[in-house]
Amino acid sequence: MSKSIKTSNPYNGETLKSYELYSETKVEAYLDRAEQTFHEWKLTEISERTELFKRLAENLIKNKDQYSTLMTNEMGKPISQSIAEVEKCALMADFYISNAEDFLADELIKTDASESFISYDPLGTILAIMPWNYPFWQVLRFAIPTITAGNTALLKHAANVTGCALAIQDLFEESGFPKGCFQTLIVDHDQIETLISDSRIQAISLTGSEKAGRKIAELAGKNLKKTVLELGGNNACMVLADADLDAYLETMVNARMQNTGQSCIAAKRFIVEEAIYDTFIEKFKAQVSSIKIGNPMDADTGLSVMAREDLAKSLKKQVDDSVAKGAEVLLGNKIDKAYFEPTIITNCKPGMPVFDEETFGPVAAIVRVKDAEEAYKMATNTRFGLGSMVFTKNTDAAKYQIGRIPDGAFFINDMVKSDPRLPFGGTKASGFGRELSAEGIHEFVNKKTVYINL
């Protein structure tokens, strides 16, 4: 008897669709097609590849209402944010269309040889294991540079966004890419180990939890496969005494509540100097309370349900366990199925789940500190290393702290966010490797030394 998975709308609980898991025979056929396509695709000119990505970018915009509705129905993202996600994917495609030839050009190196250079050659078929929180962006952030470099891609997406996974495969094929360039595998977690051990898979890219990253890294290491791991985050948002709250408070709230707080780079811990603490709390609470909550399909909804009921329950436990250790709920902490009320929790300290762990939902943990020095010490008191942000008028003093922040990103007077022009990734328990920019397209290539004497 074949196994299947069902997708459902987290806002109303309605079942959307049922999908049969792929058989071993079908998975084998997909692997074989990916490898066969790679041998042809790697020989195509980069200009030919980017022409296809122009079509893909056009199709993203043309079909953005269809794609955004699918995202919102499968994981509950407010529709305005789903539309913005599709548009951002098109902008990323434009970036690589404009820059791929330069990024992949042979790099001439002067040596004793008549000619020597670095050649950037594709590796083969790359397996992507992706999460549900940004169903299109996370996948295309991997796929666009990886396929532009001449690789082929196989996607194992999160089960609750299977419709999005199949839509992305259709997007590639309808844009003219050869069958096998990008394929979606509907498989369960038990089949991942078999995939990683298959000789046709050359590397793995995972965006997901720390727990998932450790497991995939173990499997990949056993099979000597390269990995890029973009894992959880516990980002600090430092609010120093001279911060311009009138200018940046909306940014701070958005840094926590965007995507219903379901973002690895969201501000999880707000570390606030005591001189500005009371004013910050008053303004922050008012701004959070003003967020329009409702049906994610309404254009003016700013926050809606989480992606699944079990996620809301897990988040509630983190908050309740923190309260048991002395934290205080200032706002929220009520759940109704997949809905989690926007929550502000104060008196947070190390040792509490809301300080030590990643909270994946609309919960802002507030930490009071006496000065900027304590703020930086508290910000770096974490096993994660995805990103930190600081709000202050003294940007020169903040720039002096760059080397003190061990994270993959440090933002001054803005929220941590991804930009196709800049590398994205973390350190420590947040993973390793980089996506986006030139660094992202170079992750899955063989940096080959070529040495020629005449």
State the Cα–Cα distance between residues 148 and 419, nearest whole angstrom. Answer: 18
Q: Are 426 and 230 in contact, with CB atoms under 8 Å apart? A: yes
Q: Cα–Cα distance between 412 and 394 in angstroms, integer?
A: 10
- Please report the DSSP string for 336-390 in residue order: ETTEE--EEEES--TTSHHHHS---SSEEEEEEESSHHHHHHHHT-SSEES-EEE
| Antiparallel, parallel or unpaired: β 427-428 and 384-385 | antiparallel
**First vs last Cα of the chain: how many Å apart?**
64
Reading the block at residue 181, the tokens are 């360039």
82: exposed, middle or buried (Cβ count in 10 Å: 0-12, 13-18, 19+): buried
CA pair distance 219, 222, nearest whole angstrom: 5
CA 71/CA 78 separation, integer angstroms: 9
Residue 373 has a CB neighbour count (10 Å cut-off) of 10
| Residue 230: active-site member | yes
Contact 170, 182 (CB under 8 A): no
CA dist 58 and 53 (Å) reads: 8
For residue 390, what are its two tokens? 């600081």
Q: How many residues in total does the chain contain?
A: 454
Task: Compute the distance between CA of residue 77 and CA of residue 68 in angstroms, rounded to an integer.
Answer: 9
Residue of 35, 85, 230, 273 marked catalytic: 230
Contact 252, 284 (CB under 8 A): yes
**Residue 390 zone, left/alpha/beta (φ > 0; ψ -120 to 50; rest):** beta
φ/ψ of 383, rounded to 5, equals: -85, -10
Q: Bridge-partner residues for 207, per DSSP? A: 230
H-run or E-run covering 430: none
Spatial distance between the Cα atoms of 80 and 230, rounded to a whole number of angstroms? 25
Catalytic residues: 230
